[in-house]
């Protein structure tokens, strides 16, 4: 390696590190802010590294509710929004998991059917998925809300699940469709000729082959339903039934903003996605390649 | 066993019971799509011709094209439209340029590159609520770290009111969008870059082409197709984005960061005019269909399907 190559390499690493730092900075800053006591958060000039480390912000979110009720807060007035944090968290978990299960199963079955069988109207389905994929949730949300009113489902977690299935199904379908088109039919045909039933072929040959695609579709569905704000905002009323994203915005409603609390909830809200991301990064990239993203 | 196969290989996929399995597999999708995609869209279009206040559900009446006349006469609608164009144009420009540059950087084979790739894709999975909260915090005019950094670097001489002056609020929103969605461009471009044969570059080097020439003559033409697709997709989504703007600025200060999605939301949620919101939605659908048709044309969607 010549001297010039070494310099070039150093320069490239420096550039990459700088970009990566800029990209990660908002979250790094959120993390350190969440670990600071209140008076230190408002220090000017601001410091990155907390001089005193504290978990008080996390404690307020995770056990704040018990503390509030033990202090006799139930006797009057409404509890502070932070008392609902755990409720919101579980609501989001339930809704996200249910949505992902439904969307992934429905789209896997449909995409398989679409690539292996022929039936009238078959050609229209990918176009339907494409349009559904393009339509933003703001267009769906009000008519969906009316549908929920008709079904008497407003302010229930079920309505959220249905809303998220509706926005995630098209792209999940799209991704699974791309995957199944790439899986050769010869092995399946051979097994069918040898007398295996279609269901058995699906279960024992198709599913294992399509597994990476299914995982990618499931993760994208998870991300979209965990991150959504709009449906929760329009469909839900009761404080204890909100999803995390809508609930956390209630921290802004008071006269002063508790940034420590806010940053702690940011960290807790990002954590599950970050873990998923680290575990399944390769699948995600594969999914991007097949065009299965909504954003 | 192979000898026992029927002579006609035309028996490709279907027996009668097979066909039933196919329909059975398709059924959940058809039911879900009909109930939660087709029905709402039909409702959305129907609602655009009614006056409807969700607080008085019995008081619903047909108004014909009045909702459309109303929005086309509303200066705020046109302001939102113009701002949506500004917001979309700058976001897409930054995302594309940055995305291609980063993808070229990440395409190099250096030790440790996997870590950079992972970290640079991370913003895509961060919830919009989280990044909007962080943005409000780091761009805070009095105690935000961004102002502090710019002040101490001597770039500015007094605090910038990032979120409370119209131009700066728009810029902050655009920066947020660029931060969150550039990874999308990076991944798509990176995937394409990895399929360009290295022989092309070697040959160009032998011919004495410099790095810039090689980029212009080899890389860019190879990326053209994927860039068109990415730009069409991102334009459609960015134009209709709601959460990125609403959570950061609520459309403000004033109405200076409204786009059509925020306009529709405010008409529906704050002013309780669901008919007007729906009419805005119909305009958005119409614009989006144009985009989709462009996408179908340039990507060869459907053509590929016929041969498959």
CB contact under 8 A, A126 and B14: no
Q: Is the pLDDT of residue B246 over 90?
A: yes
Domain that holds residue B172: 67-307
Residue B17 counted as domain residue: no
- Of A153-157, A220-224, B38-42, the least confident: B38-42
Q: Is the pLDDT of residue B153 over 70?
A: yes
Q: Is the pLDDT of residue B173 over 90?
A: yes
If one counts the domains in chain B, the total is 1
pLDDT score, position B303: 55
d(CA B86, CA B90): 6
CB contact under 8 A, A23 and B120: yes
Provide the H-helix boundaries in chain B: 16-33, 39-47, 66-73, 75-106, 113-121, 128-138, 145-152, 166-193, 198-206, 211-214, 220-239, 243-249, 260-265, 274-299, 303-307
Read off the pLDDT of residues B35-67 as tens digits, 9 standing for 90 and up: 888 888 888 888 889 888 877 777 778 888 888
Q: How confident is the model at residue B1 (pLDDT cuts 50, 70, 90)?
A: very low
Residue B100 counted as domain residue: yes
Read off the pLDDT of residues B213-240 as tens digits, 9 standing for 90 and up: 888 888 888 888 888 888 888 888 899 8
pLDDT score, position A271: 92
Those residues with Cβ within 8 angstroms of residue A91's Cβ, 6 or more apart along the chain or in another chain: A157, A241, A242, A243, A244
Residue B18 counted as domain residue: no
What is the nearest CA distance from B217 to chain A, expressed in angstroms? 23
Those residues with Cβ within 8 angstroms of residue A103's Cβ, 6 or more apart along the chain or in another chain: A164, A165, A168, A169, A172, A217, A218, A221
Q: Is the pLDDT of residue A75 over 60?
A: no
Residue B59 counted as domain residue: no
| Residue whose tokens read 């008081």 | B59
Q: Which one has a higher pLDDT value, B276 or A72?
A: B276
Q: How confident is the model at residue A254 (pLDDT cuts 50, 70, 90)?
A: low
Share of chain B above pLDDT 70, in %: 91
- Of A99-103, A118-122, A242-246, B89-93, the least confident: A118-122
Chain B residues touching A227 at Cβ < 8 A: 127-129
Chain B residues touching A102 at Cβ < 8 A: 32
CB contact under 8 A, A185 and B137: no
Q: How confident is the model at residue B4 (pLDDT cuts 50, 70, 90)?
A: very low
pLDDT score, position B263: 93
CB contact under 8 A, B278 and A143: yes
* Whether A9 contacts chain B with CB within 8 A: yes
Share the mean pLDDT of chain B.
84
* Whether B164 contacts chain A with CB within 8 A: no
Q: What's the burial of B168, exposed, middle or buried (CB within 10 Å: 0-12/13-18/19+)?
A: middle
- Of A29-38, B11-20, B222-231, the least confident: B11-20
pLDDT score, position A209: 83
Comparing CB atoms, the residue among A130, A189, A259 nearest residue B292 is A130
Residue B275 counted as domain residue: yes
What would the mean pLDDT of A193-218 be, rounded to a whole number? Answer: 84
Q: How confident is the model at residue A73 (pLDDT cuts 50, 70, 90)?
A: low
What would the mean pLDDT of B176-203 be, rounded to a whole number? Answer: 87
* Whether A185 contacts chain B with CB within 8 A: yes
Domain harbouring B288, CATH code: 1.10.3720.10
Residue B75 counted as domain residue: yes
Read off the pLDDT of residues B110-137 as tens digits, 9 standing for 90 and up: 888 888 888 888 888 899 999 998 998 8
What would the mean pLDDT of A26-40 be, rounded to a whole number? Answer: 88
- Of A102-106, A122-126, B212-216, the least confident: A122-126
Count of beta carbons in the 10 Å neighbourhood of residue A97? 14
Q: What's the burial of A167, exposed, middle or buried (CB within 10 Å: 0-12/13-18/19+)?
A: buried
Q: Which one has a higher pLDDT value, B299 or A104?
A: A104
pLDDT score, position B261: 92
pLDDT score, position A259: 86
Which of A16, A29, A227 should we substitute to test contact with B (largest number of B Cβ atoms within 10 Å)? A16
Q: Which one has a higher pLDDT value, A72 or A192?
A: A192
CB contact under 8 A, A169 and B32: yes
Those residues with Cβ within 8 angstroms of residue B197's Cβ, 6 or more apart along the chain or in another chain: none
d(CA A248, CA A84): 9
Chain A residues touching B250 at Cβ < 8 A: none
Residue B301 counted as domain residue: yes
Read off the pLDDT of residues B61-100 as tens digits, 9 standing for 90 and up: 888 888 899 999 999 999 999 999 999 999 999 999 999 9
Residue B3 counted as domain residue: no
Q: Is the pLDDT of residue A229 over 60?
A: yes
Vertex A142: Cα angle to A136 and A143 (nearest 5): 95
């Amino acid at each position: 390696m010549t001297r010039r190559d070494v310099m070039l390499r150093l320069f490239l690493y420096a550039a990459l590190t700088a970009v990566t730092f800029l990209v990660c900075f908002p979250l790094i800053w959120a993390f350190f802010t969440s670990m600071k006591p209140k008076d230190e958060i408002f220090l000017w000039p601001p410091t990155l590294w907390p001089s005193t480390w504290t978990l008080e912000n996390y404690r307020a979110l995770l056990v704040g509710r018990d503390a509030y009720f033990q202090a006799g807060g139930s006797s009057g007035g409404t509890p502070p929004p932070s008392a609902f944090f755990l409720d919101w968290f579980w609501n989001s978990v339930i809704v996200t998991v249910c949505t992902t299960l439904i969307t992934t199963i429905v789209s896997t079955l449909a995409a398989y059917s679409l690539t292996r069988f022929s039936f009238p109207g078959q050609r229209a389905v990918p176009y339907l998925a494409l349009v559904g994929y393009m339509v933003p949730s703001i267009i769906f949300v009000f008519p969906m809300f009316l549908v929920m009113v008709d079904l008497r489902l407003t302010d229930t977690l079920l309505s959220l699940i249905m809303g998220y299935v509706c926005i995630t199904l098209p792209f999940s379908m799209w991704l699974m469709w791309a995957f199944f088109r790439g899986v050769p039919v010869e092995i399946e045909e051979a097994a069918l000729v040898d007398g295996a039933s279609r269901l058995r072929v699906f279960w024992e040959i198709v599913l294992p082959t399509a597994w990476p695609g299914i995982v990618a579709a499931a993760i994208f569905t998870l991300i979209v339903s965990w991150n959504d704000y709009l449906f929760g905002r329009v469909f839900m009323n009761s404080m204890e039934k909100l999803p995390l994203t809508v609930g956390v915005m209630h921290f802004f409603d008071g006269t002063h903003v508790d940034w420590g609390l806010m940053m702690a909830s940011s960290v807790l809200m990002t954590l599950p996605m970050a873990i998923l991301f680290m575990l399944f990064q390769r699948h995600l990239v594969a999914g991007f390649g097949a065009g299965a993203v909504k954003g | 066993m192979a000898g026992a196969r029927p002579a006609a290989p035309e028996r490709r996929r279907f027996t009668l019971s097979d066909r039933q399995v196919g329909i059975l597999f398709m059924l959940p999708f058809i039911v879900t799509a009909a109930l939660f995609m087709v029905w709402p869209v039909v409702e959305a279009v129907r609602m655009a011709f009614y006056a409807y206040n969700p607080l008085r559900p019995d008081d619903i009446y047909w108004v014909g094209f009045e909702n459309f006349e109303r929005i086309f006469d509303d200066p705020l609608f046109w302001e939102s439209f113009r701002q949506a164009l500004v917001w979309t144009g700058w976001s897409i420009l930054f995302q594309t340029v940055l995305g291609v540059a980063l993808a070229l950087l990440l395409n190099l084979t250096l030790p440790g590159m996997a870590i950079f790739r992972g970290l640079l894709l991370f913003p895509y999975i961060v919830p919009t609520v989280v990044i909007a909260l962080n943005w409000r915090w780091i761009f805070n005019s009095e105690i935000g770290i961004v102002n502090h950094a710019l002040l101490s670097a001597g770039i500015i001489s007094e605090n910038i009111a990032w979120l409370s002056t119209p131009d700066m609020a728009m810029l902050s929103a655009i920066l947020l969008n660029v931060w969150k969605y550039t990874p999308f461009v990076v991944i798509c471009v990176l995937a394409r870059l990895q399929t360009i044969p290295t022989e092309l570059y070697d040959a160009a080097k032998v011919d004495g082409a410099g790095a810039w020439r090689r980029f212009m003559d080899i890389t860019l033409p190879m990326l053209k197709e994927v860039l068109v697709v990415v730009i069409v997709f991102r334009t459609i989504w960015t134009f209709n984005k709601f959460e990125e703007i609403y959570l950061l600025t609520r459309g403000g200060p004033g109405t200076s960061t409204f786009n059509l999605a925020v306009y529709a939301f405010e008409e529906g949620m704050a002013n309780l005019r669901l008919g007007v919101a729906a009419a805005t939605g119909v305009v958005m659908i119409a614009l989006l269909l144009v985009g989709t048709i462009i996408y179908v044309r340039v990507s060869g969607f459907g053509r590929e399907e016929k041969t498959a």
